[in-house]
Chain A
Amino acid sequence: MHFQDIKERAISQWETMQNSPTPRILVGMGTCGRAAGGEDIFDTLSREIQDQNIKCDLIQVGCIGLCYAEPLIEVVKPGKPSVFYGNLTPELTAEIVKDYLAGDDPRPDLALGTRGEGTLEGIPKLFDLPVLRSQVRISLRNCGNINPESIDPYIANGGFQGLERALGMKRQEVIDEIKQSGLRGRGGAGFPAGVKWQFCYDAPGDTKYVICNADEGDPGAFMDRSLLEGDPFSVLEGIVIGSYAMGASVAYIYIRAEYPLAIQRLVSAIEQMENYGLLGENIMESGVDIHIKIKEGAGAFVCGEETALMASIEGSRGMPRPRPPFPAQSGLWGKPTNINNVETWSNVPIILQNGADWYAGYGTEKSKGTKNFSLAGKVNRTGLIEVPMGITLREIVYEIGGGIPEGKELKAIQTGGPSGGFIPTNLLDLSVDYESLAEAGSIMGSGGMVIMDEDTCMVDTAKFFLSFTHAESCGKCVPCRCGTKQMLDILEDITNGEGRPGDIELLEELAQSLKNSALCGLGQTAPNPVLTSLEYFRNEYEEHIFKKRCVALHCKNLVSFYILPDKCTGCGKCARKCPVEAIAGGKRMVHVIDQSKCIKCGTCFDVCPSKFSAVVKVSGETVEVPSEPIPVKKKEKAKE
């Protein structure tokens, strides 16, 4: 079948579905949706529909980005805007089936928002919500909108039109289009994608390779996983376009084995593309052959580094090698190779489809287009977001993210994962683009964004990121292997209250040494969390070392619990719950914690009834309390 026919059929199917008199429900079934209980919701829907004998189609879709609201469904009834419902339980789901699907009450009390033409009383438009208002969905255009397991909806929504156009262009013209769009690598470093393609295209040799880096490894990052789960086709189409442009006939997707759903969807998508002649031999009857192979990684963070990734595909231990030569000159099996990450590839088809100028209309002068972030940590609305370059951090945290839970203070924003850094609150109006983030000492990275509140100890958080890079260092070069270990040991000592004078300077020296002499990006950037926390939160280090005080009351060895004699009523709850019998007391006696026995588990703090709040948690200070239990002072009854 010609692509034209395939497209027409897909569009007509899609329209039939859109105009269908049968209602349908889209269920968020990305990993986030499933983890939140999406499968239970799907089962409940199936059962309810069957039990109540309702005609309704159930469609699994990927993550729409509102992870905080999962499990999430979208109910489409003919002639009405669709309605999103979030934070569902099976019980609520059954109510929605009863009230809205069978009945006519859209349950505004449960609805998040509507999508499509028209309005429903009492329900806002979804894209008018703060969480979505400032987002622009280019990379994620299909996520949550189409069934990722079927190719036709993708085609009906413009899929493969970019490829169709590309195949009609000269290879160099495709590369020029990407250059002109200003698309930069979304994996972290932000190298202009078109320029990188050009290097590979220009490199001599008949055999070339294209690789999609889907080895998303940053802690707290899930952009690529969600994208692959929600819309594998856009990534695959991008790879095919790139392979054509650079003259590669084999492309690899290097993906973590920990992403089984994404792998399953890719495998299925590849098979469907092959069946439609959109992959394999003679793509779209153009005479071009391109094959895509999937290589599952074994979960090494360093394999996100280009040269280590290639070594791993070749079957060797995933360790980086020095560059030059760059992969574009000598990459996979010594052949010119281009590597871009998932998000970069997903932008390629739409750039070809809508043109470079359209894409370059988004973003800032140097950072074009949009960027996906996984918004995580101490923020009200966690989720997958796509924002135009140039948006401020403040907008992301307070508008999209809805601010900090429990009314606490924002302390820092961490971007770029373990290679990135912390950005303090006074830089909240920083524009999110490659240059600004770098200037602040952090990096754009692949899109991890972790929000930290006042309870976060910056030393401990730096230690967390360093323990990650330390564990994930491949061990090849001395500065990274031994340097991260030394830095970690020092941070360990500091958070344990065993920091020594001079440790800060030693950390800085080691950090410089790593930056200057580590072999690959992992080692060179590993000190960033330490360096930025030292720059913006140096006082916390000093307090830990010199005052043995953790201002966030987080570092166990530096905090103590006391029972205030004025407040203790001798109820005995804390003593009963203390796992190490460190609390002495007795009926109507003021309880006393034996500091030498206390393991600082915080149980007493948690169980002390809030009306008493007799247990306090302090750091770097002592509280005067009796050494032995004394009788509770009789309180005068409050006079009414």
Chain B
Amino acid sequence: MTAELSPVAERTNTETITLTIDGKSVEAAKGATVLEAALANDIYIPTLCYDPDLKPYGACRLCVVEIEGMRGLPTSCTTEAKDGMIVHTDTEKVNQSRRSTMELLMANHHGNCFTCAKNQDCELLKIARYLGMDEAHFNRFREREEVLAIDDSHPAFIYDPNKCILCAKCVRACHEIAGVGAIDLAFRGDESKVSTFGDKPILESICESCGECVSRCPTGALIPRHKKQAVRETKTVCPYCGVGCSIYLGTRGNEIVSVRGDDQSPVNKGGLCVKGRFGFDFINHPDRLTKPLIRNAGKGKDIKVDGDLHEVFREASWEEALDLVARRLSGIKDEYGPDRIGVLGSGKFTNEENYVVQKFARLVLGTNNVDHCARLCHASTVTGASAAFGRGAMSNSFSDIAAADLLFVIGSNTTDCHPIVGRIIRQGVNSGHTKLIVGDPRGIELASIASAHMQHKPGTDVALLNAMMHVIIEENLQDREFIENRTEGYEELAETVKNYPPEVGEDITGVPKDEIIKAARLFANAERAAVLYGMGITQHTTGTDNVKSVANLLMLTGNMGKEGTGFSPLRGQNNVQGACDMGALPNVFSGYQKVDNPEARTKFESAWNCSGLADKPGMPVTEMTASISSGDIKAMYIAGENPLMSEPSLNHAREEMQQLDFLVVQDIFPTETAMVADVILPAAAFAEKEGTFTNTERRVQKLRKAVDPPGEAKPDWQIIDSVAERLGHPFSYQNPADIMDEIASVTPIYGGIHHDRLEGEGLQWPCPDREHPGTTILHKDGFARGLGKFHGVEYKPPAEAASKDYPLILTTGRVLEHWHTGSMSRRSDVLDELSPKGVLDINPGDASNIGVESGDVVTLTSKRGSIDVPVNITSKMAPGIAFMAFHWKESPANVLTNAALDPIAKIPEFKVSAVKAVKN
């Protein structure tokens, strides 16, 4: 806080100054340090503690220079460059000082360069060479004798303090960039070391394993465990969450050996989370599907989840498998009609593949029964926001989150589920720039830095938001001008929220009314406020209502269409936004063009050179899986999804799916769903193919192939094309760029998006034509639907309430280290070691009622099934509320969840299930 100079990345000054460095007149940005001025002009100055992303630190003293008119040897990293300054960076006096400093460091540095993993990349060694230091220099001083203990507790990296030069880049990155503060310097003088709280092993600390420290260590002190050197690097996009971090995959042969964040990316600015940095070993996992598999005759589908794949299936050629798929699908289509077949695209597919999937369903099979996992996460965002604004996507960009004065995070455990966005929030709050309100039934990490934390009961979001709006209107804090000029339906809203004074809010939500009032005032009084939310808002029978309420709050306070404001649904899968954009939905073609709109149909019929496209919206996935036993769905083609981990009420879903006449699963791993398939088709993973992903801020980014698919696995678009060909509709695309050209021609919001335009930072849609630069902020001058619409939304309780038999409310979600159904992250050694099993978080009071201690296993039962899971007692949970994540097949939380649906969005109420826990 006391340092005046900010990291170079944060400076925006465009003025320049002129100074002389080593006799050369150079220009530099005003406010730049002498070091930055030199580096920007290709003048090398050695340094070990400088990092352009971090505040100047001035510790290593190697960047000292002579500046005429200044005493002594100032450090160039902490001295601001001034107009007319005359700097000498390479004098004998300067180098003498540098050599002395280096000698001190080397005398204190234990380790053999030859065996050190850092070796060629070691900054210490580089500077020693630059200064021409030799053996004699290193032997003049007394050598340190003490050998310090190595911390090798972490599965991903090792800390060897003997090689540490205390530049504190790791510590500063952990504080300034990650906002975690798991490590700091401890002890004094030459006993100083990088330490966790209480000097415990790093694994026992609050470390979030993002590896930001490892990536910045200039020596061999912090090194990844897997130290194979990459031979080449490929720029692509992280396959985990919807943030869409830009990464470089380092490869050696056909193996991925390293990952680093792309520091030029506007999305992640070089940063990564634990999954993005250490979670890519799944690509080379032996479980990868390498050949098409056909179910052995006589093998029933009621086998155990983790049955032996090769006992149940036999390997087949692509020809045989594809022929079988085509024959069975056309047979069922001919016998029962096209609408008895359901197709699932994927939030993990590229845009091009999702486009091909929906085209396959609509054109080849002739049904609108196409959907994907957005149904389970943000379907209500699309319905709610479309009603309010006319568009279902995030209105602003990540840069707006950084620019906001106030952030209201509701129903999003952002630091776990969207870690890089969580980091932006933390950075803003830690720097004092941003205030934070958290609305969450759990005491999530962000709550600890929030100005207000409303710990509301699951499923009471509408009441909470209405109560806040009641206060805002009551205290006359609404944005009258915005309401007047930009919206309609205000009276309806005002009328409705009248019935939700804070007292009523407190009754329903359990949040003390003063906290509601405080949050309302904070929000309304902020110059620029944004709401960020996740599945805590969407996964409810009132999901659409919840989203409408969020929209109400934003419009009421005029926080739409401006920088630093906006509506930010944080999308889950890396390309769930794109899958929606591409029309892998039962009611729309790509670009949200409705299937029941004749004009849209005509357009696609002409583009696809066909006629008679189905005009009725198809079934969402939640209805498909519930319509098998009734015979309404006979066959499914599931590509890149794993509903038998992700569907609610899993036991029931399994019973249903087992009854399918024919199931094709196309995936990279033998998932729980694949085990009940008739045919399994091996697909290429993200690192093995080309295409585009669209992240949550609508940024279309290019995916590039880094390695070949294993065995006979193929990119999904090619597999679908092969099936289509056998069904008489060959698509004949040469490559994904071709597909994107077709997408652009039929999808106005993607009209200007072509692969050749995506080499740099990507483009944010809407981008209607080739010249268009993309759109960072939606609804700027007007809403997509014209006027923004307020909805008066009444509170409705969740479908299930706690009862005598089921006294606890279970809410589900994710953890930082894992991804959704675990098919990828559970096959990453590092991630699985960090988080090997599910736990049930409960309040100490509930634990004592049940009679359990942390670690005891309970049987958790809802009306829909039971699982066994160990308990973790934490006061972050409110009494009566329990939480668990749904990643572990050993304790699949979705066995318990409620399949009750939001009537409009058809999203299940994952967030509220009544359960009981009994000690085993």
Contacts and interface: CB of A to CB of B under 8 A. Distances in A.
A475 B189 contact: yes
B189 A478 contact: no
A516 B3 contact: no
Contact of B191 (A311, A332, A475): A475
A317 B185 contact: yes
A473 B192 CA distance: 9
Nearest to B55: A321
A472 B188 contact: yes
Interface stretch (A182-190, A451-459, A483-491): A483-491
B114 interface: no
Interface stretch (A8-16, A382-390, A506-514): A506-514
Contact of A334 (B1, B60, B61, B101): B1
Interface string A474-507: 1111111111111001100100000000000010
A497 to B, nearest CB: 16
Contacts of A480: 189
Nearest to A300: B188
B1 A475 contact: no
A513 B140 CA distance: 15
25 contacts: A310-B2, A317-B184, A317-B185, A319-B185, A321-B57, A322-B75, A324-B4, A324-B80, A470-B190, A474-B192, A475-B166, A475-B187, A475-B189, A475-B190, A475-B191, A476-B168, A476-B185, A478-B62, A479-B100, A486-B107, A509-B100, A510-B100, A513-B101, A517-B61, A517-B64
A241 B140 CA distance: 54
A477 B61 contact: yes
B97 A482 contact: no
A330 interface: yes
Interface string B128-165: 00000000000011101000000000000000000001
B553 to A, nearest CB: 32
Contacts of A319: 185
A389 B185 CA distance: 42
Contacts of B4: 324-325, 329-330, 334
Residue with the greatest number of chain B CB neighbours at <10 A, chosen from A478, A484, A517: A478
A476 B59 contact: yes
A519 to B, nearest CB: 6
Contacts of A478: 59-62, 101, 104-105, 165-166
B59 A482 contact: no
Interface of B: 1-4, 56-62, 64, 72-73, 75, 78, 80, 97, 100-101, 104-105, 107-108, 140-142, 144, 165-166, 168, 184-185, 187-192
Contacts of A327: 2
Residue with the greatest number of chain B CB neighbours at <10 A, chosen from A324, A331, A485: A485
B100 A519 contact: no
Residue with the greatest number of chain B CB neighbours at <10 A, chosen from A314, A317, A506: A317
Contacts of B56: 322
A486 B142 contact: yes
A307 interface: yes
B59 A513 contact: no
Residue with the greatest number of chain B CB neighbours at <10 A, chosen from A471, A493, A516: A516
Contacts of A612: none
Given A518-B61, A519-B59, A321 B2 contact: yes
B58 A485 contact: no
Contacts of A314: 1-2
A490 B104 CA distance: 13
Given A334-B1, A476-B59, 11 more contacts: A316-B1, A321-B58, A322-B56, A322-B78, A324-B80, A476-B168, A478-B61, A481-B166, A482-B107, A489-B142, A513-B97
B190 A473 contact: yes
B72 A516 contact: yes
Contact of B104 (A310, A474, A475, A482): A482
Contacts of A321: 2-3, 57-58
A299 to B, nearest CB: 10
A383 to B, nearest CB: 31
Contacts of A332: 2
A332 B1 CA distance: 8
A466 to B, nearest CB: 11
Contact of A483 (B75, B104, B187): B104
Contacts of B185: 317, 319, 475-476
A306 to B, nearest CB: 10
A127 interface: no
B882 to A, nearest CB: 35
Nearest to B75: A322
Interface residues of A, number: 48
Contacts of B166: 475-476, 478, 481
B188 A477 contact: no
A517 B2 contact: no
A333 interface: yes
Contacts of A490: 142
Interface string A322-343: 1011010111111000000000
A161 B78 CA distance: 44
B448 to A, nearest CB: 15
Contacts of A484: 189-190
Interface string A549-581: 000000000000000000000000000000000
Contacts of B190: 470, 473, 475, 481-482, 484-485
Nearest to B141: A486
Given A321-B58, A325-B4, A471-B188, A517 B97 contact: yes
B188 A474 contact: yes
B72 A470 contact: no
Nearest to A480: B189
B73 A516 contact: yes
Residue with the greatest number of chain B CB neighbours at <10 A, chosen from A334, A482, A510, A519: A482
B2 A481 contact: no
A493 B142 CA distance: 10
Nearest to A515: B72
Contacts of A479: 61, 100-101, 104
Given A510-B100, A516-B97, A481 B189 contact: yes
B100 A322 contact: no
Closest 6 CB pairs of A and B: A475-B192, A482-B104, A322-B78, A473-B189, A325-B4, A322-B58
Contacts of B141: 486, 506
Contacts of B107: 482, 486
Nearest to A330: B4
A470 B190 CA distance: 8
Given A329-B4, A330-B2, A482-B108, A477 B58 contact: yes
Given A322-B78, A482-B108, A331 B142 contact: no
Nearest to A475: B192
A381 to B, nearest CB: 35
Residue with the greatest number of chain A CB neighbours at <10 A, chosen from B72, B141, B144, B190: B190
Contacts of A483: 104
Contacts of B168: 476
Nearest to A329: B4
A485 B108 contact: yes
A516 B246 CA distance: 43
Contacts of A486: 104, 107, 141-142
A517 B188 contact: no
Contacts of B144: 485
Contact of B73 (A334, A481, A517): A517
B188 to A, nearest CB: 6
A233 B893 CA distance: 66
A484 B189 CA distance: 9
A324 B75 CA distance: 11
Contact of A472 (B57, B62, B165, B189): B189
A519 B187 CA distance: 18
Interface string A229-266: 00000000000000000000000000000000000000
B45 to A, nearest CB: 14
B60 A477 contact: yes
A471 to B, nearest CB: 6
Contacts of A316: 1
